[in-house]
């Protein structure tokens, strides 16, 4: 590769329940994103005119998140007039797609400094309010056999023979790890408190984590996708997965990713940018991969994407110290580990979206700060980041400390 | 003179009375000319105050020209499309006339007929049983292409319009009024035209009477546009629920749902373009051809008596005797009494006979409780059935149907002991699905009057009856059995005697092939899912659980005892399976404690694991397309053999029999029609491929090889 794409810093907001009783509901998306840009600026005394572009993922780009929110965030942060902004949408991978896109542009040598991140205020712009052919155009739905992704998650569990207890046990572990990490300050370096216009703190730390979670409590929750399945979606999925006679609906709000508000930002630049601005790189992006698998089961892309990413990087699984898979659903993370043959001990070591929530367009770039902090804390070198993506896609990125 | 009679009265109202050549008014070339002239004339008419569309026939207007529709080829798509656009434009010009246009609906207005009504500003109907309105095109694989989809959606809103469009729901005048499909009704036919005219005069001053709702300023579709969040759920769920019925095999409801969604998204005239495109797509499709050929032309042929000896006067049964008040006997009693026939329902004990009669009472009670029948009518029907244990009550029956157990000896015995009670020259019908009629008739003193009348279970719901002629059955007996089946409003197909006749024999191959796939290592659940994937109501193994492995065992036993058993080509897979699962493991079927599946009291159904353990080989290597074709081709090939051997007497009987009797996939139009659109040549090639891969049972019969060589269709 011509140039290295260095990670100079990575920050994120805390996450909170994406409903009207969530702590961030009163915060506008443009404010949530702008807070992080201002933090990057002040941390590094950044000359913002040096920044070529701000790439933000956002999965529901309508209403107040519509009309290229990335550019609106730039203006709202009072950054230099010369800084551009672009919003992109690759469903749940949008945040990591922003990172990968920024990295590619820097690595190409055509640009020197890009902020990549995302924003999603799910309490203010509900998931699905942007419509789309998937589920919104009957002809397309019938042609492609559209099935909501929760059913795909349940289908994965059914195919693998994972019971409700199995996925609940995974969820419990996610809660335990996240609570432990938060209690021990592992997240403090990158989580930037959200302040109101008076400088009063709205939210300092993730408040979605439920440290008191028990298996019994999880066991009481109702399956989220059983009714939908009975309406006929199960039959559509089983038309393809036709050796099964039914789908075991094991996923609940307790073992699926939470709906939350949040934002993230990663400062990615060339070596030259670092020198020019006096920045010290924390890591670099080694390789990225995107692909698609069966859109009906929808959530089996991450494993193959990670394999592809390793191949591109010329690395083996043993070269990866930590693995991070977005916990869209428990079965997704479990399938990822099974596909790759990696141990839970080194995967999602500080929990994941089941405990902390998944602000769709922001999550991918959040993983960068989470994993980079942990590599530094443990003194390790490389990590693989992956997410499952709507439409059957999978995305992966390998980062390395420098 | 035009077939649209044009009369203007003193009030300036023009009445257009449609009186087309032939028994009904229909959207054909003659219509196009007449309607064009009429609209031209109306647009030029001076002093016009209103228009009334009326019919000179018993029905208002019948619909599209199916002869034309069934012949459209894909290369004619553009020409067809242009024609549809012209049809739409004529109706659009009609509804845009500056004066009110009223439809005076005197009889059925279905399909194109109702589309004409929808293009009128006002719809008045005679409140009579004769009037039915609706858009049943979906049942023939088509969509209402004369603006029916677009106008219904604009009239009712997407959600409310969908059942009429997707299910082809027909309603009478009263229900049509309540649903907003028409505007008013009159009690007598004489009031119809005067009321239509009065309405025009009453609305002379109205600014909106001549303007369709969708052409009025500020019009909003009821329930909102397709983009509204209120409809998001509908747009997501409608295709799912639809696919539960169609399994993606029927393009018509899919194209309708798309056109309806677009009608709720686009403006009126652009939506019409989408409707025309979707209609063109359907009209040129194989599935529409299959469905029109069989469900319209084929069914008319069959019900019209194509297989009935023509030179014998029609007859009616006055008194029918039914021997055996079990599941079949009680159903036959019900269907007969419903047709007003006096029934003697006889069983060994009075108790058993009474139980059989109680079945009719139960079904009638259901009708009464749903408001579909009066208590008096129920009593009247019930009084037609005499439940008895005495043979003497059968005295004078002009038809006796024996419906006892499938046992040759028993049936022989009963024939001998009871035949004497028949009226002079009465007909003896045996309800059997497996025993040869010729041999059953051996016990009769009058084999010429002996015939097979094979009902399907449950009799009250299944529309088909298979009539089987034995060697000695005469034409008069056949004609009388045929007339009886029509009398009880069922559809009779006529076949010649052969082991399993047509339906059971063909149906058996579907089960047999499912068993073979299982034995070759395909997961049994996948076997059943492949059956569903080709459009069968249920999978092979599931249906075998219903018909029961126990019965299969008995039937084969009987056949062997009688020396009728023929060793199947490629080995006796069925017996191997039945010997293992039933004889060895005592799994005789769903009603005998379980079969391939285990059935829970809560309605659950799970595969019996030893079946998977014994046969399932994940590396069986059989492609899904091969599985599907094997299941379908077996039935098609068996049907071809029945035609070739003369078991089937006509193609229409084969198609109707396979659809109505044994659940052949709707999209095929029946097992013979399937070949017409699949292509005989392609069929022969594919069958030979399957033969090479899987065995000689797939060898294409000579009759289809011959058709392929000559390039002929099965008609």
* Per-residue three-class SS string for B144-164: CCCCHHHHHHHHHCHHHHHHH
Asked if A92 contacts A358 with a C-beta cutoff of 8 angstroms, the reply is: yes
Tell me the C-alpha distance between A241 and A152, whole Å: 11
Tell me the C-alpha distance between B99 and B43, whole Å: 10
Candidates B429, B432, B464, B486; CA nearest to B654 is B464
Candidates B158, B63, B152, B47; CA nearest to B108 is B63
Tell me the C-alpha distance between A1 and A314, whole Å: 13
Mean of pLDDT values over B480-484: 98
| Superfamily of domain B4-284, CATH level 4 | 2-enoyl-CoA Hydratase; Chain A, domain 1 (3.90.226.10)
- Asked if A136 and B235 come within 8 Å (Cβ–Cβ), the reply is yes
**At residue A1, does pLDDT exceed 60?**
no
Q: Find residue B549's DSSP bridge partners.
A: none
Tell me the C-alpha distance between B330 and B336, whole Å: 10
Asked if B606 contacts A244 with a C-beta cutoff of 8 angstroms, the reply is: no
Quote the Cα angle for A39-A43-A44, to 5°. 120
- Asked if B238 and A239 come within 8 Å (Cβ–Cβ), the reply is no
Residue B63 pLDDT grade (very low, low, confident, very high; cuts 50, 70, 90):
confident
Give the model confidence (pLDDT) of B520-559 as tens digits: 999 999 999 999 999 999 999 999 999 999 999 998 998 8
Residue B499 pLDDT grade (very low, low, confident, very high; cuts 50, 70, 90):
confident
What is the chain A residue with the closest CA to B605? A245
Q: Which of B237, B239, B533 is closest, CB to CB, to A142? A: B239
Q: Which residues of chain A neighbour B235 with C-beta distances below 8 Å?
A: 135-138
| H helices, E strands: number in chain A | 15, 12
Give the model confidence (pLDDT) of B178-196 as tens digits: 999 999 999 999 999 999 9
CATH topology of domain B504-646+679-710: 1.10.1040
Within 8 A by CB and 6+ apart from B187, the residues are B127
- If DSSP codes are grouped into helix, strand and coil, which group holds residue B492? strand
Candidates B317, B394, B318; CA nearest to B353 is B394
- Residue A259 is classified by DSSP as -
Residue A153 pLDDT grade (very low, low, confident, very high; cuts 50, 70, 90):
very high
pLDDT of residue B406: 85
* Residue that the structure tokens 């990490």 belong to: A181
Asked if B610 contacts B460 with a C-beta cutoff of 8 angstroms, the reply is: no
Candidates A284, A314, A310, A270; CA nearest to A381 is A284
Other Cβ atoms closer than 10 A to B79: 11
**At residue B429, does pLDDT exceed 80?**
yes
* Strand stretches in A242-300, DSSP E: 260-269, 283-292
b/e per residue A293-332 (b: at least 16 CB within 10 A): bebbbbbbbbbbbbbbbbeebebeeeebbbbbbbbbbbbb
Mutate to test the interface with A, among B159, B236, B278 (most CBs of A within 10 A): B236
Structure tokens given for A341? 């043959």
Structure tokens given for A92? 């749940």
**At residue B333, does pLDDT exceed 80?**
yes
Least confident of A287-296, B42-51, B61-70, B526-535: B61-70
Give the model confidence (pLDDT) of A279-290 as tens digits: 999 999 999 999
Peptide bond into B458 cis (omega under 30): yes
Structure tokens given for B402? 């024996």
**At residue B506, does pLDDT exceed 80?**
yes
Residue A164, H or E segment: helix A164-183
Give the model confidence (pLDDT) of A229-251 as tens digits: 999 999 999 999 999 999 999 99
Determine contact: B462 vs chain A, CB below 8 A.
no
- The structural domains of chain B, with segments of one domain joined by +, span 4-284, 319-498, 504-646+679-710
- Asked if B232 and A128 come within 8 Å (Cβ–Cβ), the reply is yes
Per-residue CA distances from B308 to B294, B572, B585, B656 (Å): 18, 37, 47, 15
Other Cβ atoms closer than 10 A to B430: 25
Q: Which of B244, B606, B607 is closest, CB to CB, to A232? A: B244
Candidates B176, B203, B175, B173; CA nearest to B186 is B173
pLDDT of residue B558: 86
Q: Which ranges constitute the DSSP H helices of B549-679?
A: 549-561, 573-578, 609-615, 624-644, 651-662, 673-678
Rg, Å, chain B Cα set: 28
Q: Which of A231, A232, A243 is closest, CB to CB, to B525? A: A243
Other Cβ atoms closer than 10 A to B244: 13
Tell me the C-alpha distance between B574 and B548, whole Å: 12
pLDDT of residue A168: 98
Alpha carbon of B168: minimum distance to chain A alpha carbons (Å) = 19
- Asked if B239 and A239 come within 8 Å (Cβ–Cβ), the reply is no
Mutate to test the interface with B, among A126, A127, A134, A138 (most CBs of B within 10 A): A138
Q: Which ranges constitute the DSSP H helices of B370-401?
A: 375-382
* Residue that the structure tokens 């590599």 belong to: A375
* Whether A388 is catalytic: yes
What is the chain B residue with the closest CA to A139? B258
- If DSSP codes are grouped into helix, strand and coil, which group holds residue B535? coil
Determine contact: B161 vs chain A, CB below 8 A.
no
Residue B34 pLDDT grade (very low, low, confident, very high; cuts 50, 70, 90):
very high
Tell me the C-alpha distance between B519 and B695, whole Å: 14
b/e per residue B519-529 (b: at least 16 CB within 10 A): bbebbbbbbbb
Q: Find residue A55's DSSP bridge partners.
A: A86, A116
Q: Which residues of chain B neighbour A244 with C-beta distances below 8 Å?
A: 525
DSSP-assigned states of every residue in B657-707: HHHHHH---GGGTSTTHHHHHH-HHHHHHHHHHHHHHH-GGGPPPHHHHHH
Q: Which of B229, B239, B606 is closest, CB to CB, to A138? A: B239
Mutate to test the interface with B, among A63, A142, A244 (most CBs of B within 10 A): A142
* Whether A92 is catalytic: yes
Alpha carbon of B656: minimum distance to chain A alpha carbons (Å) = 28
Pairing of strands B50-55, B101-105: parallel
* Residue that the structure tokens 């469009």 belong to: B165
**At residue A2, does pLDDT exceed 80?**
no
Other Cβ atoms closer than 10 A to B556: 16
What is the chain B residue with the closest CA to A126? B229
Q: Which residues of chain B neighbour A235 with C-beta distances below 8 Å?
A: 243-244
Q: Which residues of chain B neighbour A132 with C-beta distances below 8 Å?
A: none
Alpha carbon of B580: minimum distance to chain A alpha carbons (Å) = 23
Determine contact: A216 vs chain B, CB below 8 A.
no
Question: What's CA B317's distance to the chain center, in Å?
Answer: 26
What is the chain B residue with the closest CA to A228? B237
Q: Which of B238, B530, B607 is closest, CB to CB, to A245? A: B607
Q: Which residues of chain A neighbour B535 with C-beta distances below 8 Å?
A: none
Q: Find residue A384's DSSP bridge partners.
A: A323, A398
Q: In this prediction, what percent of chain A has a pLDDT beyond 70?
A: 100
- Asked if A129 and B229 come within 8 Å (Cβ–Cβ), the reply is yes
Determine contact: A136 vs chain B, CB below 8 A.
yes
* Whether A309 is catalytic: no
Determine contact: A198 vs chain B, CB below 8 A.
no
* Average model confidence (pLDDT) across chain B: 96
Determine contact: B228 vs chain A, CB below 8 A.
no
Give the model confidence (pLDDT) of B629-658 as tens digits: 999 999 999 999 999 999 999 999 999 999
Q: Which residues of chain A neighbour B254 with C-beta distances below 8 Å?
A: 138-139, 142
- Asked if B258 and A138 come within 8 Å (Cβ–Cβ), the reply is yes
Q: Which ranges constitute the DSSP H helices of A184-314?
A: 215-219, 226-228, 234-240, 271-277, 302-313
Helix, strand, coil percent content, chain A, rounded in steps of 5: 40, 20, 40
Alpha carbon of A366: minimum distance to chain B alpha carbons (Å) = 31
Candidates A69, A42, A67, A41; CA nearest to A55 is A69
Please state which CATH number belongs to domain B319-498.
3.40.50.720
Q: Which ranges constitute the DSSP H helices of B183-250?
A: 192-202, 229-246
Mean of pLDDT values over A77-103: 98
Within 8 A by CB and 6+ apart from B71, the residues are none
Within 8 A by CB and 6+ apart from B455, the residues are B328, B331, B332, B403, B431, B462, B465
Structure tokens given for B519? 């034995």
pLDDT of residue B651: 97
Tell me the C-alpha distance between A181 and A173, whole Å: 12
Tell me the C-alpha distance between A32 and A14, whole Å: 10
């Amino acid at each position: 590769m011509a140039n290295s794409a260095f990670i100079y810093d990575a920050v994120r907001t805390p996450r909170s329940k994406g409903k009207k009783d969530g702590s961030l509901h009163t915060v506008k998306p443009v404010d949530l994103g702008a807070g992080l840009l201002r933090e990057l600026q002040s941390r590094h005394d950044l000359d913002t005119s040096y920044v070529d572009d701000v790439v933000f993922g956002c999965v529901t780009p309508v209403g107040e998140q519509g009309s290229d929110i990335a550019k609106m965030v730039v203006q709202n942060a009072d950054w230099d007039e010369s800084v551009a902004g672009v919003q992109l949408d690759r469903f749940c991978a949008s945040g990591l797609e922003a990172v990968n896109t920024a990295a590619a542009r820097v690595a190409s040598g055509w640009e020197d400094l890009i902020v990549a991140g995302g924003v999603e205020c799910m309490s203010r712009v509900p998931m699905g309010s942007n419509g789309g052919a998937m589920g919104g155009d009957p002809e397309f739905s019938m042609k492609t056999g559209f099935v909501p992704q929760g059913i795909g998650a349940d289908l994965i569990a059914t195919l693998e023979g994972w019971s409700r207890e199995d996925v609940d046990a995974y969820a419990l572990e996610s809660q335990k790890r996240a609570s432990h990490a938060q209690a021990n300050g592992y997240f403090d370096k990158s989580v930037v408190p959200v302040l109101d216009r008076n400088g009063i703190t709205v939210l300092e730390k993730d408040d979605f984590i439920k440290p008191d979670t028990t298996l019994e409590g999880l066991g009481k929750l109702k399956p989220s996708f059983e009714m939908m399945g009975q309406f006929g979606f199960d039959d559509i999925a089983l038309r393809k997965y036709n050796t099964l006679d039914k789908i075991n609906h094991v996923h609940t709000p307790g073992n699926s990713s939470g709906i939350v508000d949040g934002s993230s930002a990663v400062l990615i630049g060339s070596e030259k940018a670092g020198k020019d601005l006096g920045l010290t790189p924390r890591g670099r992006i080694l390789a990225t991969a995107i692909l698609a698998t069966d859109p009906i089961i929808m959530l089996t892309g991450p494993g193959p994407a990670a394999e592809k990413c390793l191949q591109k990087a010329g690395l083996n699984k043993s070269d990866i110290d930590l693995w991070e898979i977005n916990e869209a659903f428990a079965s997704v993370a479990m399938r990822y580990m099974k596909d790759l043959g990696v141990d839970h001990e080194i995967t999602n070591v500080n929990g994941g979206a089941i405990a902390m929530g998944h602000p769709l367009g922001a999550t991918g770039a959040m993983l960068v700060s989470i994993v980079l902090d942990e590599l530094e804390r443990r003194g390790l070198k490389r990590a693989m980041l992956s997410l499952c993506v709507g439409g059957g896609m999978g995305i992966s990125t390998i980062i390395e400390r420098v | 003179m035009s077939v649209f009679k044009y009369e203007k009265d003193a009030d300036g109202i023009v009445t257009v009375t449609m009186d087309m050549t032939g028994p009904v008014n229909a959207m054909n070339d003659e219509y196009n000319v007449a309607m064009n002239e009429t609209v031209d004339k109306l647009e030029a008419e001076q002093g016009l105050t209103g228009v009334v569309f009326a019919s000179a026939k018993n029905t208002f207007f019948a619909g599209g020209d199916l002869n034309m529709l069934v012949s459209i080829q894909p290369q004619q798509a553009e020409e067809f499309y242009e024609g549809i656009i012209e049809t739409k434009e004529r109706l659009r010009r009609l509804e845009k006339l500056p004066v009110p246009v009223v439809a005076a609906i005197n009889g059925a207005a279905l399909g194109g007929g109702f589309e004409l009504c929808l293009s009128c500003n006002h719809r008045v109907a005679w409140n009579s049983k004769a009037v039915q309105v609706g858009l049943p095109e979906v049942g023939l694989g088509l969509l209402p292409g004369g603006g029916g989809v677009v106008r219904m959606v604009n009239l009712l809103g997407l959600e409310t319009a969908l059942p009429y469009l997707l299910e082809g729901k027909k309603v009478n005048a009263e229900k049509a009024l309540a649903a907003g499909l028409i505007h008013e009704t009159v009690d007598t036919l004489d009031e119809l035209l005067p009321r239509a005219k009065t309405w025009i005069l009453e609305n002379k001053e109205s600014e909106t009477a001549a303007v369709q709702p969708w052409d009025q300023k500020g019009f909003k579709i009821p329930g909102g546009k397709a983009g509204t969040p209120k409809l998001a759920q509908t747009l997501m769920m409608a295709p799912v629920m639809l696919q539960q019925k169609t399994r993606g095999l029927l393009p018509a409801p899919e194209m309708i749902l798309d056109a309806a969604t677009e009608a709720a998204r686009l403006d009126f005239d652009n939506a019409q373009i989408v409707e025309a495109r979707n209609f063109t797509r359907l009209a040129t499709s194989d599935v529409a051809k299959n469905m029109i050929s069989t469900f319209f032309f084929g069914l008319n042929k069959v019900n019209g008596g194509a297989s009935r000896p023509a030179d014998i006067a029609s007859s009616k049964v006055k008194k029918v005797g039914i021997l055996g008040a079990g599941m079949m006997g009680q159903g036959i009693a019900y269907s007969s009494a419903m047709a007003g026939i006096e029934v003697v329902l006889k069983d060994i004990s009075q108790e058993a006979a009474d139980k059989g009669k109680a079945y009719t009472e139960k079904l009638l009670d259901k009708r009464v409780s749903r408001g579909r029948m009066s208590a008096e009518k129920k009593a009247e029907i019930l009084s037609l059935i005499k439940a008895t244990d005495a043979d003497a009550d059968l005295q004078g029956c002009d038809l006796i149907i024996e419906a006892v157990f499938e046992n040759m000896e028993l049936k022989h015995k009963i024939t001998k002991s009871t035949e004497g009670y028949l009226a002079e020259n009465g007909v003896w019908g045996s309800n059997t699905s497996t025993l040869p009629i010729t041999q059953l008739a051996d016990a009769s003193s009058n084999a010429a009057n002996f015939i097979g009348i094979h009902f399907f279970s449950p009799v009250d719901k299944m529309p088909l009856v298979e009539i089987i002629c034995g060697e000695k059955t005469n034409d008069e007996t056949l004609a009388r059995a045929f007339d009886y089946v029509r009398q009880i409003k069922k559809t009779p197909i006529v076949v010649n005697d052969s082991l399993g006749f047509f339906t059971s024999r063909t149906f058996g191959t579907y089960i047999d092939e499912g068993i073979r796939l299982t034995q070759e290592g395909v997961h049994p659940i996948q076997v059943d899912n492949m059956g569903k994937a080709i459009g069968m109501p249920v999978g092979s193994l599931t249906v075998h659980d219903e018909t029961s492995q126990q019965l299969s065992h008995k039937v084969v036993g009987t056949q062997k005892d009688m020396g009728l058993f023929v060793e199947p080509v490629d080995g006796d897979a069925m017996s191997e399976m039945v010997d293992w699962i039933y004889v060895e493991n005592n799994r005789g079927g769903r009603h005998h404690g379980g079969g391939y599946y285990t059935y829970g009291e809560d309605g659950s159904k799970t595969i019996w694991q030893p079946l998977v353990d014994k046969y399932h080989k994940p590396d069986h290597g059989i492609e899904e397309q091969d599985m599907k074709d094997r299941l379908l081709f077996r039935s098609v090939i068996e049907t071809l053999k029945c035609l070739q051997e003369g078991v089937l007497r006509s193609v229409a009987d084969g198609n109707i029999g396979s659809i109505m009797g044994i659940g052949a996939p709707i999209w095929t139009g029946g097992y013979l029609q399937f070949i017409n659109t699949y292509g005989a040549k392609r069929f022969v090639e594919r069958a030979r491929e399957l033969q090479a891969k899987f065995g000689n049972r797939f060898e294409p019969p000579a009759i289809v090889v011959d058709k392929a060589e000559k390039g002929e269709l099965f008609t």
